């Protein structure tokens, strides 16, 4: 048991999926896992452990933003020895070729700052994903016929951004999408020698203004969850 996770020793699996929304964690666990057990509800940040094709999996909400993700990832790694951490969440498309409902596999994450910035000081550390997870995820997406893009993303530290100039430069330099957590996850995975990947569903688009209606999100997010599970255990 930690400050933010009430799970007992042995309750957390070595493979953890990290949606930001605790209720998305509940939906994913109930939809894709068997023998599901609630292992955390501290501060309403729900976590569940069950099995997928005989493999133990924990799905733990991580909250919004890198500081919140950093708390849960640190505790999962250092106190529960999680070895594979996969972010599953939504993102905003930033390229014309990226469409709403597409899946993005993030190879690297740009950011203005992260909770780990103080460690690196003047160094611009470039956090990247685990190649084996990326390779497995891409093969799974291809097999399922899911429109998928592989490349760099931007992890923002604010949701209501007022930097259109920065967005334009990221689009110009090929950044596929924006979200709020993956950069810190990749940094922590590098620090502690763990595997990490962000598998994201495009829920809205910064260029076209298109957005996925709330009642259609769960169905579209299903591909993302299954890709993440296959990637972890392929």
How far apart CA 30 and CA 210 sit, in angstroms, is 29
| Annotated binding residue 113 | no
CATH number of the structural domain spanning residue 118: 3.40.50.1580
In a domain, 7, yes or no: no
Range of the domain at 159: 15-233
Count structural domains, the chain: 1
Catalytic machinery residues? 204
| Annotated binding residue 170 | no
The size of the chain, in residues, is: 234
Phi and psi of 59, rounded to 5°?
Answer: -120, 110
CB atoms under 10 Å from CB of 152, counted, come to: 18
Environment class of 174 (CB within 10 Å of its CB; exposed 0-12, middle 13-18, buried 19+): exposed
Span 137-152, pLDDT tens digits:
999 999 999 999 999 9
CB-CB contact of 186 with 218 (8 Å) = no
In a domain, 3, yes or no: no
CB atoms under 10 Å from CB of 111, counted, come to: 23
User: 113 is written with which tokens?
Assistant: 């700052």
Q: What is the DSSP string of 157-182?
A: S-SS---HHHHHHHHHTT--EEESSH
Residue 223 has pLDDT above 90, yes or no: yes
| Annotated binding residue 87 | yes
CB-CB contact of 36 with 29 (8 Å) = yes
In a domain, 165, yes or no: yes
In a domain, 1, yes or no: no
Span 144-198, pLDDT tens digits:
999 999 999 999 999 888 888 999 999 999 999 999 999 999 999 999 999 999 9
In a domain, 5, yes or no: no
In a domain, 8, yes or no: no
| Annotated binding residue 163 | no
């Amino acid at each position: 048991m930690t400050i933010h996770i009430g799970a007992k020793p042995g309750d957390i699996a070595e493979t953890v999926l990290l949606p930001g929304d605790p209720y998305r964690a509940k939906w994913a666990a109930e939809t894709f896992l068997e023998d599901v057990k609630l292992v955390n509800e501290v501060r309403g940040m729900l976590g569940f452990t069950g099995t997928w094709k005989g493999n133990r999996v924990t799905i733990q909400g991580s909250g919004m933003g890198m500081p919140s993700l950093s708390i849960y990832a640190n505790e999962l790694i250092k106190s529960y020895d999680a070895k594979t951490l996969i972010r599953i969440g939504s993102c905003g498309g930033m390229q014309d070729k990226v469409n709403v409902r597409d899946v993005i596999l993030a190879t690297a994450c740009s950011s203005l700052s992260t909770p780990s910035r103080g460690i690196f000081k003047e160094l611009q550390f470039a956090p990247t994903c685990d190649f084996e997870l990326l390779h497995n995820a891409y093969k799974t997406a291809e097999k399922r016929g899911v429109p998928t893009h592989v490349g760099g993303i931007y992890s923002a530290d604010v949701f209501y951004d007022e930097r259109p100039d920065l967005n334009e430069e990221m689009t110009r330099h090929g950044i596929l999408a924006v979200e709020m957590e993956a950069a810190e996850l990749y940094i922590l995975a590098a620090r502690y020698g763990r595997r990490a990947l962000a598998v994201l569903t495009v829920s809205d688009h910064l260029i076209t203004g298109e957005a996925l209606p709330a009642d259609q999100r769960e169905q579209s997010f299903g591909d993302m969850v299954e890709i993440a599970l296959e990637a972890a255990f392929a």
